[in-house]
Amino acid sequence: MAGRRTDIEARGTRDAILHRSADIASVEGLEGLTIGRLATDLEMSKAGVIGHFGSKEELQLATLELAAAIFRAAVWEPTEDLEPGLPRLLGILDSWTGYGDRPSFPGGCFIAAASFEWDGRTGRVHDELARFGRLWRRTLTAEIQTAVDNGDLPADTDAEQVAWSLESLAAGMNPARQLHGDKHIAEWCLRAMLAVLGLPTREIAAR
């Protein structure tokens, strides 16, 4: 029992470190993470913090993994039981813009902020961000193509180009919300996404 309790406590400590890391990195960047800052905030020793990861890079990667899991839970999981194609795609757009309007981190959408921070760099963090981005774009592209195949979108729709356009609009939500304080950005973004799809703009309730 003692060993099991120790394992549970270790996982709880690791989770606490990661959630605090994600909060800090969403504002100050993954590169801005420091072991000293985390140790102070969590009232731990530096050795106690780094001992869960081994290096700052491993901490960055684990923090990114947590943020990606939170994104999936907020954006994809609410839609995965919807009918593939246009119904699921519209569900994704609703949950995606809702997440952008009510992000899980003080700095807004973690993935968007990290992508701007790391797009010109090299290394494992860059590569993991790129991998997550490819997976998400493939998901979007597949739903768009299914909607085309079902006749819900025009036959000449370029699914990859549309997926890129939707991503670009979503990425613009973070600076609009965080930097400019736009209060209607979720509604604006959703309307723009529907326009990209060539669909009529729906009446959208205030969020």
Count of Cβ atoms closer than 10 Å to residue 180 Cβ: 9
Residue 44 lies inside a defined structural domain of this protein: no
Residues 6+ apart with CB under 8 A from 102: 207
The pLDDT tens digits of the residues spanning 55-90 come to: 999 999 999 999 999 999 999 999 999 999 999 999
CA distance 203 to 140: 23
CA 57 to chain centre: 19
Any domain includes 31: no
Domain assignment present for 11 = no
Q: What is the pTM of this model?
A: 0.88
Number of domains comprising the chain: 1
* Residue 149 within any structural domain of the chain: yes
Burial (CB count <10 Å: 0-12, 13-18, 19+), residue 78: middle
Percentage of the chain exceeding pLDDT 90: 79
- Residue 180 is assigned to a structural domain of this protein: yes
Query: Which structural domain, as residue segments, surrounds residue 170?
Result: 57-196
pLDDT tens, 178-189? 888 888 999 999
- pLDDT, one tens digit per residue, over 105-117 is 998 889 988 999 9
Has residue 49 been placed in a domain?
A: no
Question: What CATH number corresponds to the domain at position 144?
Answer: 1.10.357.10
Alpha carbon distance 202, 50 (integer Å): 49
> Is residue 61 situated within a structural domain?
yes
Each residue's pLDDT tens digit, 37-50: 999 999 999 999 99
Nearest Cα to Cα of residue 76 among 137, 22, 19, 21: 137
Angle formed by the axes of helices 110-118 and 159-178, nearest 10°: 100
- pLDDT tens sequence across 128-169: 999 999 999 999 999 999 999 999 999 999 999 999 999 999
Residues of the chain above pLDDT 70, percent = 94
Residue pair 157/144 in contact (Cβ under 8 Å)? The answer is yes
**Considering the domain boundaries, does residue 22 fall inside one?**
no
pLDDT at 205: 43
Half-sphere exposure of 152 (CA within 13 A, CB side): 19
pLDDT at 83 (0 to 100): 96
